[in-house]
Structure 1
Amino acid sequence: MAPIPAYPDVTVHDTLPKLLRLNAKAHAGETWLREKDLGIWISYTWGEVATRVRDMTLGLTTLGVTRGDVIGLIGDNRPEWLMGEIAAHAIGGMSLGIYRDALGDEVAYLVTYADVAVVFAEDEEQVDKLLSLDEKIPTVRHIVYSDPRGIRKYDDPRLISLKELEKRGAEVAARDAGAYDRLVDAGKGDDVAILCTTSGTTSHPKLAMLTGGALLRHCRAYLDMDPRLPTDEYVSVLQMPWIMEQIYAFGQALISRMKVNFVEEQETLMADMREIGPSFVLFAPRVWEQIAADVRSRMMDSSALKRGMFDLGMKLGLKALDEGRRSPLADFILFRALRDRLGFSNLKSAATGGAALGPDTFRFFLALGVPMRQLYGQTELLGAYTLHKEKDVDFDTVGVPFEGVEIRIDDPDPNGLGEVVTRHANMFTGYFRNEDETRKSFAEEGWMRTGDAGFFNGKGHLVVIDRIRDMAKTSHNDRFSPQYIENKLKFSPYVAEAVVLGDGRDSLAALICIRFSIVSKWAEKNRISFTTYTDLSARPEVIALLKKEVEGVNRTLAEKQRIGRFLLLYKELDADDGELTRTRKVRRGVINERYGTIIDAMYEGQKVIDVDTTITFQDGTRQRIKTKLDVIDLGAPPPVKDDGKRRAA
């Protein structure tokens, strides 16, 4: 491991604005942020960012914002979001990030619950969403927009451009040169700075209260395990409200001075990332799965020679990985070019977190030469607090704890499996306006219940199996983890999402969503006609294709954990429908309720299930879907009639 660089003292510079001020004074001319706009990379130095944050902060004072107010931010990952959040902290307010694709009702809930006073909105789309809520968000006094395109048609006194806000702030600074520094100096590390939304897998998300000092101290502990340098490049991909993006794009970047890059659009991510050649990336499991699927998709369109080279390279690479080494031949014929194509040539560290990543996907990237590490944590515990060490990566585990982090396993079974319970010095201070949930989350002496089932292996690595509430048993008392099996299914390039069922049932079953972009390409190549997602998923050839994939996964599972039945769902699971969280985690309760009739029919032995339903799109339009779902039997035990109760999936 490279020597750990000298970082600023975060007990002195204990807020984000104080660290920004320090870096701006010492490194004013150095580039910190880059953004791609209309194909051109635009750079922002530490000095430029500090000046704009100062003007935003003082501009907020002209709007009547004071210490303790809550300031919302919604939009894509942009430098203006980062600056706006630091400005919120500088004035003594609390920032609340809202996912850019959140629906109106979700936005209204968060804004009214937190009494948001001002919202930073990126563009017309987000402004329109806020204005349409009208009386549902009575606390919002001002909406500050960054992109003026399309805004002129609105006539609302709450609207003010970011340019105008900064102009007002600059005028205040000209009149009172010390105004900004006084605000920054008044901030303390123990002040609540961030209201961070939890995943909300079972209900509305809670708001974890995080202090600026805790964030920075925890980032400092993280950097001891995985150091960053001012020369390192990071590409900001995950949405800003997620705790891990707060850790990397804010805390770690301010401490280490690594450069933070913002891509032009999500669609240009891979091309933009290749131009930057990042030294570090953090992706959610869904992104890693999509990248692996896209690689396999491209191979479907390549020549027989290239497909042969790919298969040989993967075979050699995986064999070498299992033997604890790298294959020079595989690197020469495949991996070196593939890493360059993906923008991974300069990677020193790559992380995944937020949910479990399937072991097959993890092995794929390790064989490719991507320095993958799994991390584990929760919003309430300031994100990750375990990580693989550089030379000690085990894809079946989530690594070892950071320095100062304590982990224990409560109520372990004979195999040591129990609830993961954690504490450290930099935890959240509680849930905003929710003392009952705060009390429920804590055990004695500051230990926090994670709700996850796990154990420590012989090497001292933490192994996390699944959420305790999601661990399941069949009617034959055979225990299984739905998430583990789902991750194996999603390694297939043809599977976008899977929900494994079977708790209290005679056998396991699965609802599978095809990955439309890849299955449609496969269908076109094989001259299979189709019109829509629903039509394609019902084609016999597609069903046969997915049957082979499920059978392949079954061969890797213990007999009692194999999938006995499955069907291809007529639509994709969607966060807008409440079926997934905004971080793409399955809401099992919603799935069980919404598709309960289909699930019951599968277990009653029906071969074909009639569906006649209506789906509502984000723009409010509705579409009727009338189709038949084929239930594919892979050798399940004879069906057991349900007792009339719908069991949980």
Structure 2
Amino acid sequence: MAALSHLPDLAVYDTLPKLVALHARDHGGEIAMREKDFGIWRTFTWDQVQARVRAFALGLTKLGVVPGEVVGLLGDNRPDWVMGEVATHAVRGYSLGIYRDALDEEVAYLITYADVKVVFAEDEEQVDKLLNLADRLPTLQHIIYSDPRGMRKYHDLRLMPVTDLIRMGEELLAAQPDLYDRMVAETKGEDVAILCTTSGTTSNPKMAMLPAGRLIRHVASYLSADPKGPEDEYVSVLPLSWIMEQVYAVGMGIVSRMRVNFVEEAETMMHDFREIGPTFVLFAPRLWEAIAADVRARMMDASPFKQKMYELGMRLGLEALAKGQRSAMADAILFKALRDRLGFTNLKSAATGGAALGPDTFKFFQALGVPLRQIYGQTETMGAYTVHRGNDVDFDTVGVPFDDGIEVKVIDADHNGVGEIVTRHPNMFAGYYRNEKATVADMRDGWMHTGDAGFFDKKGHLVIIDRIKDIATTAHGDRFSPQYIENKLKFSPYVAEAVILGDKREYLSAIICIRFSIVSKWAEKNRIAFTTYSDLSSKQEVYDLLRAEVERVNQTLPEYQRISKFLLLYKELDADDGELTRTRKVRRGVVAEKYGTIIDSIYAGQPKIDVDTTIAFQDGTKQRIRTTLTVIDLAPAAAAKKPQPVAA
């Protein structure tokens, strides 16, 4: 395969430590990674990566880590996370990434369930999280931190700066110069190397066991569909705990030598992104939606002339896109400058995954000239296994499998061809860690049962509708996908999150969370006084603004899918409250239970709903909220009559 001619022999170099050692030998002076620190880009060559991985691995050996033990990684995306992970594989241990914003209960569960003895914790914030758990982490013996700022006040014997770990490793290297090489030689591709948590809808996620060789082979499969090489730049912004960031920042970075760049802080992400000008980017749908919303929000403050140019450029761009073309005029007056401002000028490839991206948002970026493709997969399948090829991009699909070795089919299909998506390929997970029962439930006869509903269109593209358990049916027997309607709503710059209701009900309703950063700017511009999120979301002017957005979406939907009632929630949905997964998917069961009284009141026909509740913040503080939610009734008569069925 010509596109993969630059790759090493992956049958021989079948683990990440072997590949790092190879690149250090053959390309030692080339840049492998960059990290923004105190405003300066700090580079790591392959020689430096190899030296640090070796010191980490030998240090872990001196700490007593043995094959089969689990090493945790907790913090932001940093080179030390990647190097700590590879070092763990070198000692034939299992790396377990923990989301940096995971709550105490989640961290305690993962560490105790996996008997973690050593954790790489990035900084004081993550160290605090571990120390606050005290005796709830009986197995934890060593906490290795990279950032020493603020650490002088701690005296816990488990704490160790990463410099001490490196010193221990170098001492062992001096005593046994060939030990690390022998350790790397003993690593095997079929040995489990990574425990990757599933995004699931429960508070205690499962851990998929991922062998290193399967990750590497799947990366090669991905590269056959979307080639990358040493000349490519990637900016790592999504959590390294997530399977797709493992595939890109760890797997693809090491397999293809694509340079991986790490931003300084979440707040500087887009600025750092523009400085690198990457050739490839992976964002989650929520981030693509936020960028699109921010662009449209900025136009509120632009001059009338610029607003007209923006509207003209978007109209010309979308019209050309509908014909499968690009508009030179739109590029000249709008898109070229906008791509430059966003840092998208050098993009050769872009992807979205982890959840469905609304077609309106997809079209926005395609018209802009961003070569955006949808990918689809699961943690258990080593991440994505379908993608759009070349110019064969369809906003309503997730494309086709990477190669012939990936089998995808739809089972138990209804008369419209919609059924459950199942898949199998040679590089899937090796089961759930210490959970054979769940493995047997999800893997049947070699096929992974995804729990997603979908079908193949006439072009052979896979179309994802929603989670099977989330597809709803009205009291009139009309089926609908809440996720599809929610994504249409979230194309509005004013909508951060939405939950569509209506299963077994007479009509559809929506709970909407405003996008505070943009709605607050709109309110200030219109001289609307407010204090908090709750206060702003209760303003009549904001309800009028959102009513127009909901009515716009309704015009694009069949009658039976239209929203009859909606309200604006007094807070944002939050992963810390269990309302969203760490990959920002709505946990519908939690929402239905937590806001059950509000939902019942909507369908009871109450125009006003009094709320008296308390919100707990991550820092432990609490805030009492007393407010009244207004239920906007868009179609009072629609609930009384049964609409005409429309084919799915």
Q: TM-score, normalised by structure 1?
A: 0.98
Per-residue deviation at 1:289? 0.3
Mapping 1:46-85, distance limit 5 Å = 46-85=46-85
1:377·1:384 contact (CA, 8 Å) conserved in 2?
A: yes
Tell me which moved more, 564-573 or 435-444.
435-444
1:5·1:227 contact (CA, 8 Å) conserved in 2?
A: no
* AA partner of residue 228 (structure 1): K
* Distance in 1, Cα, partners of 2:226 & 2:45: 25
* Distance in 1, Cα, partners of 2:390 & 2:43: 31
| 1:238-259 per-position Cα deviation (integer Å, ceiling 9, x unaligned) | 0000000000011111111110
The alignment partner of 1:606 has SS state of coil
Q: Residue 423 of structure 1 aligns with which residue?
A: 424
* Distance in 1, Cα, partners of 2:223 & 2:40: 31
User: Alpha carbons of 1:209 and 1:636: their partners in 2 closer, same or farther (altered >3 Å)?
Assistant: farther
The alignment partner of 2:557 has SS state of coil
The alignment partner of 2:512 has SS state of strand
* Distance in 2, Cα, partners of 1:87 & 1:120: 11
Q: Residue 172 of structure 2 aligns with which residue?
A: 172
The reply to whether residue 187 of structure 1 matches residue 187 of structure 2 is: yes
* Distance in 2, Cα, partners of 1:393 & 1:515: 29
| 1:201-231 per-position Cα deviation (integer Å, ceiling 9, x unaligned) | 1341100000000000000000000000101
Structure 1 residues not aligned, in runs of 5+:
641-649
Q: Residue 86 of structure 1 aligns with which residue?
A: 86
User: Alpha carbons of 1:73 and 1:303: their partners in 2 closer, same or farther (altered >3 Å)?
Assistant: same
Q: Residue 261 of structure 2 aligns with which residue?
A: 261
Q: Residue 377 of structure 2 aligns with which residue?
A: 377
| 1:432-459 per-position Cα deviation (integer Å, ceiling 9, x unaligned) | 0111110000222x01100000000000
2:203·2:578 contact (CA, 8 Å) conserved in 1?
A: no
1:280·1:349 contact (CA, 8 Å) conserved in 2?
A: yes
* Distance in 2, Cα, partners of 1:354 & 1:261: 21
Q: Residue 99 of structure 2 aligns with which residue?
A: 99
The reply to whether residue 7 of structure 1 matches residue 15 of structure 2 is: no
The alignment partner of 1:168 has SS state of helix
User: Alpha carbons of 1:475 and 1:230: their partners in 2 closer, same or farther (altered >3 Å)?
Assistant: same
Per-residue deviation at 1:639? 6.2
* Distance in 2, Cα, partners of 1:378 & 1:399: 15
Per-residue deviation at 1:638? 6.9
The alignment partner of 1:52 has SS state of helix
* Distance in 1, Cα, partners of 2:512 & 2:391: 36
* AA partner of residue 632 (structure 1): I
Per-residue deviation at 1:620? 1.1
Per-residue deviation at 1:5? 3.8
The reply to whether residue 432 of structure 1 matches residue 430 of structure 2 is: no
Per-residue deviation at 1:636? 4.3
1:35·1:78 contact (CA, 8 Å) conserved in 2?
A: yes
Q: Residue 320 of structure 2 aligns with which residue?
A: 320
| 1:159-195 per-position Cα deviation (integer Å, ceiling 9, x unaligned) | 1110010011011111111010111111100111000
The reply to whether residue 148 of structure 1 matches residue 144 of structure 2 is: no
Q: Residue 508 of structure 2 aligns with which residue?
A: 508
Q: Residue 133 of structure 1 aligns with which residue?
A: 133
Per-residue deviation at 1:200? 2.2
Mapping 1:224-623, distance limit 5 Å = 224-403=224-403, 404-444=405-445, 446-623=446-623
* Distance in 2, Cα, partners of 1:135 & 1:289: 41
The alignment partner of 2:620 has SS state of coil
* Distance in 2, Cα, partners of 1:145 & 1:38: 18
| 1:121-142 per-position Cα deviation (integer Å, ceiling 9, x unaligned) | 0000100110110111111110
Q: Residue 647 of structure 1 aligns with which residue?
A: none
* Distance in 2, Cα, partners of 1:201 & 1:18: 36
1:605·1:639 contact (CA, 8 Å) conserved in 2?
A: no
2:106·2:203 contact (CA, 8 Å) conserved in 1?
A: no
The alignment partner of 1:116 has SS state of coil
* Distance in 2, Cα, partners of 1:485 & 1:2: 42
* Distance in 1, Cα, partners of 2:2 & 2:245: 24
Give % identity.
68
Per-residue deviation at 1:576? 0.5
* Distance in 2, Cα, partners of 1:170 & 1:638: 74
2:3·2:224 contact (CA, 8 Å) conserved in 1?
A: no
* Distance in 1, Cα, partners of 2:430 & 2:48: 33
Q: Residue 29 of structure 1 aligns with which residue?
A: 29
* Distance in 1, Cα, partners of 2:617 & 2:372: 37
Q: Residue 116 of structure 1 aligns with which residue?
A: 116
* Distance in 2, Cα, partners of 1:2 & 1:264: 36
* Distance in 2, Cα, partners of 1:117 & 1:399: 42
* Distance in 1, Cα, partners of 2:182 & 2:152: 36
Q: Residue 646 of structure 1 aligns with which residue?
A: none
1:603·1:639 contact (CA, 8 Å) conserved in 2?
A: no
* Distance in 1, Cα, partners of 2:470 & 2:33: 41
Ranges of 4+ aligned residues in structure 1 off by more than 4 Å: 1-4, 636-640
Q: Residue 645 of structure 2 aligns with which residue?
A: none
| 1:466-500 per-position Cα deviation (integer Å, ceiling 9, x unaligned) | 00000000000011000000000000000000000
* Distance in 2, Cα, partners of 1:252 & 1:364: 28
User: Alpha carbons of 1:509 and 1:220: their partners in 2 closer, same or farther (altered >3 Å)?
Assistant: same
The alignment partner of 1:238 has SS state of coil
* Distance in 1, Cα, partners of 2:2 & 2:567: 50
* AA partner of residue 414 (structure 1): H
* Distance in 2, Cα, partners of 1:601 & 1:301: 38
Q: Residue 644 of structure 1 aligns with which residue?
A: none
* Distance in 2, Cα, partners of 1:405 & 1:307: 47
* Distance in 2, Cα, partners of 1:563 & 1:395: 23
* AA partner of residue 442 (structure 1): M
1:604·1:639 contact (CA, 8 Å) conserved in 2?
A: no
2:4·2:220 contact (CA, 8 Å) conserved in 1?
A: no
* Distance in 2, Cα, partners of 1:622 & 1:227: 49
Q: Residue 630 of structure 2 aligns with which residue?
A: 630
User: Alpha carbons of 1:338 and 1:638: their partners in 2 closer, same or farther (altered >3 Å)?
Assistant: closer
User: Alpha carbons of 1:216 and 1:4: their partners in 2 closer, same or farther (altered >3 Å)?
Assistant: closer
The alignment partner of 2:54 has SS state of helix
The alignment partner of 2:571 has SS state of coil
1:202·1:589 contact (CA, 8 Å) conserved in 2?
A: no
Q: Residue 645 of structure 1 aligns with which residue?
A: none
* AA partner of residue 633 (structure 1): D
